[in-house]
Amino acid sequence: MCDKGRKILHVDLDAFFVSVEQVRNPELWGRPVVVGGEPGARGVVACASYEARAYGIYAGMPLTRAYRLCPHAIFLKGSFPRYRDASARFIAILADFTPQLEPTGLDEAYLDLTGFEPIYGPTSEAALSMKQRIKGEIGVTASIGIGPSKLVAKIASDLAKPDGLVEVAPGEERLFLAPLAIARLPCVGSKTEQLLKRLGVTTVGELADLSAPLLRARLGSMGDALYRYARGIDERGVETPLAAKSISRETTFIGDTLDYPFLKATLRYLSERVGAELRREGKRTRCITLKLRYADFDTITRSRTLKWAINADQAIFDVGVALLGRALWQRRQLVRLIGIGVSSLIGEERQLSLLDSSMECWERLDRVIDRLRHRYGFTAIQRGQTLPLKDAFPTFFELYGCN
Ligand code: DCP
Ligand code: CA
């Protein structure tokens, strides 16, 4: 994933623990507040308000030293369950924007909003509504960075603090990074910083002037990483922890449609795709979800939990069709996108003895077809239920943009 047009966001709550305390007790707003423990206690500062930071207090500092720096600060012990609860609500808000979400701490996450402009408008608008919802529903402020890579988004959110939004356009990465101190880069600790300083490098721009062989000679594989980071190159994708726990396929139609046989045939095709991956991963599912996006972009999902875990295409399709029938009965409107997903996955070997014989037949057939498709390609075999798509074959993939 080195697509220049990516829209990666890094969202990070400001002075998280303190902010949660300030929401509980508004008298703490605008005051130097330290969460970590009583001033006399052993232990370190977990979080300092920005007002306390003005006195030189920072996370990780011994509480006794923090007290010396600012005796009139308010010292609180804090409550982890409160922060865990706020964190869960924070992540739930982000998940409303996209499932492409990678939480990296209690109060920070990456999101990939690439391709969402038709839905949300400019990415910065989506980021602003995210900030608004976080403030409105949790009461705390967030800082957001937007960029073509995780690296740039993370640094942008740091620079946006507190309560800000910084967007770096594609192609501007190097310019954006050049004036910054090298310590802003993720893998630059104090040792690397000293080493680079001895080479006369204090800013990312100066680092970008060093050649790849020189950096490699001095810093080994980290030198390679720094060479790329100094140019804003970071190909890491947003890794959703849920991705491993669910499998889905969806497709957007070129023209909105309400042609039931065609919708069913597409659903069959997508079910076969999902089923094939499920079996490849050696998994079964107990929850099937249908997704529909209507012509007006309104998107619904409908799920059904099964008694037994299955992985046969037919079983996935049958549930999908039942959910589709009900959804269309409730709302007859042109459909723009259809998708099917499976979750609540368990290992394939489990529950096999509980399956009835017809399901076993379906599974045997799937295994034969999987082998043939593995050898000759997915479109080598077409099931009867996908015949309404035949006009689209063999260019089905291009035509329907299956993703
Ligand atoms: N934390 C901790 N001990 C640390 C660092 C952090 O217990 N040494 C906790 C308290 C922080 C939370 O993790 O509130 C999030 O850490 P951040 O590094 O994101 O810092 P803050 O959210 O406090 O401040 P900001 O992000 O505004 O710089
Ligand atoms: Ca934070």
Measured in angstroms, how far is the CA atom of residue 59 from the centroid of ligand 1?
7
Tell the CATH superfamily of the 247-398 domain: DNA polymerase, Y-family, little finger domain (3.30.1490.100)
C-beta atoms surrounding 72 within 10 Å? 8
In testing the pocket of ligand 1, which one of 107, 134, 154 has its CB within 8 Å of the most ligand atoms? 107
Tell me, using a 6 A CB cutoff, whether residue 16 lines ligand 1: yes
What integer pLDDT is reported at residue 250 of this predicted model? Answer: 94
| 383 within ligand 1 shell (Cβ under 6 A) | no
What is the rounded distance in angstroms from the CA atom of residue 169 to the CA atom of residue 342? 36
Residue 171 in tokens:
């192609």
Residue ranges covered by each domain of the chain? 16-80, 175-230, 247-398
CB within 8 Å of 330: residues ≥ 6 apart = none
* Residues annotated catalytic, as ranges: 108
The residues facing 13 across adjacent strands are: 142
Q: What is the pLDDT of residue 212?
A: 94
Instruction: Tell me which H or E stretch contains 75.
Output: strand 74-76
Determine the distance separating the centroid of ligand 1 and the alpha carbon of 47, expressed in angstroms.
5
Q: What's the CA-to-centroid distance between 19 and ligand 1, angstroms?
A: 11
**Domain at 16-80: CATH architecture:** 3-Layer(aba) Sandwich (3.40)
- Give residues whose Cβ lies within 5 Å of ion ligand 2: 12-13, 16, 107
- Please report the DSSP string for 135-157 in residue order: HHHH---EEEEEESSHHHHHHHH
The CATH code for residues 175-230 is 1.10.150.20
pLDDT lower than 70: segments of the chain: 1-4, 242-244, 348-356, 390-403
